[in-house]
Amino acid sequence: MYVIAGATGNTGNRIANLLVDAGQKVKVISRSEEKLSALVAKGAIPVVGDLTDKAFLTQAFEDAESIYALIPPKFDAVDFRAYQNSVGNAFVEAVMATGVKNVIILSSFGAHLEEKSGVILGLHDLEQALAKIEGINVLNMRAGFFMENFYGMIGTIQQAGVLGGFPIAGDIAIPVVHTRDIAKVAANHFLKQDFKGQSHQYVAGERDLTMNESAKVLGKAIGKDDLVWVQFPYDQAREAMIQMGTSPSLADAYIEFCQRVNDGTLQSDYERTPENTTETSIEDFSEEFARAYRQQL
């Protein structure tokens, strides 16, 4: 039995579908039963509840051998790291209570850092907490910057004519990955059961990219060959996030994350290899981006 958290999200939904299509028995977790209807129609078992609820997760993990764990975004979290740890602690306690043997975490590049990594700190905490449980197999999938993050910048393109949002320097290369590829990696590991003990794997996309390079490719796809990346000052980026409904705590965490990208700290444990390179290129994604851009015109 597999239990997939975040089964209506970009990675969890795809993982659940791949496992169901492979003939596996799968429970899918969401806060909305309605959003699980397509998976339920394919044979998945719905469980509806809150990932911060330890009793709920303990019940959901009954009879499960393998789980997919992640910490969903919560843009109104008053204390974002405390929210992350409330989810992480619920996962840890439920795993310990039920004897789950295999865990794959959606983590991030930078999760090796013990401090000052912003939105990544809670993932570091979860990795470390699960590492203390004896007798289980944990794979920490340290994914790169999601290509889908660029969708949130469509409004900036339409209003200001530039690509921007995260205050990341335009000339720094980082791993950029499609969530579809993250799901494929996770599903393959689940089906092969080829991870033992405590381990991590970077999921790094087709190649490392600078924001300048991404802007050029995405601009061409939407007919704006002159589209450029603009790195907003940290204070302006923070204020814009708050105006869009992000809590000050989460905005501060995003700024700290970007600072660590800009000084190279976040990438200090990462090295591209054939094993962590995935299929979808920014050029492939640009076709999806162009469709989303046109839909918002």
CA angle 124, 137, 89 (to 5 degrees): 40
How far out from the chain centre does Cα 272 lie?
A: 19
pTM of the predicted structure, to 2 decimals:
0.96
pLDDT value, residue 120:
97
Is the residue at 100 inside a domain? yes
Is the residue at 195 inside a domain? yes
Is the residue at 293 inside a domain? no
pLDDT value, residue 135:
95
Is the residue at 51 inside a domain? yes
Contact (Cβ atoms closer than 8 angstroms) between residue 46 and residue 33 = yes
Rounded CA separation 197/283 (Å): 36
CA angle 41, 43, 48 (to 5 degrees): 80
Three-state secondary-structure class, residue 190: helix
Rounded CA separation 210/263 (Å): 14
pLDDT value, residue 186:
98
Question: Which whole-number Å values give the CA distances from 103 to 79, 106, 150, 242, in the listed order?
Answer: 26, 10, 29, 34
Is the residue at 121 inside a domain? yes
Q: How big is the chain, counted in residues?
A: 297
Tell me the sheet residues that pair with 29.
47
Is the residue at 76 inside a domain? yes
Per the structure, how many domains does the chain have?
1
Contact (Cβ atoms closer than 8 angstroms) between residue 143 and residue 185 = no
pLDDT value, residue 297:
83
Provide CB contacts within 8 A for 288, sequence distance 6+: none
Name the DSSP class of 44: P
Q: What is the CATH number of the domain that holds 135?
A: 3.40.50.720
Give every residue of the chain whose pLDDT is below 50, as ranges. Answer: none
Contact (Cβ atoms closer than 8 angstroms) between residue 90 and residue 59 = no
Range of the structural domain that residue 25 is part of: 2-145+177-203
pLDDT 10s digits, 21-35? 999 999 999 999 899
Query: Pairing state of beta strands 145-146 and 137-143?
Result: unpaired
pLDDT value, residue 100:
97
Is the residue at 14 inside a domain? yes
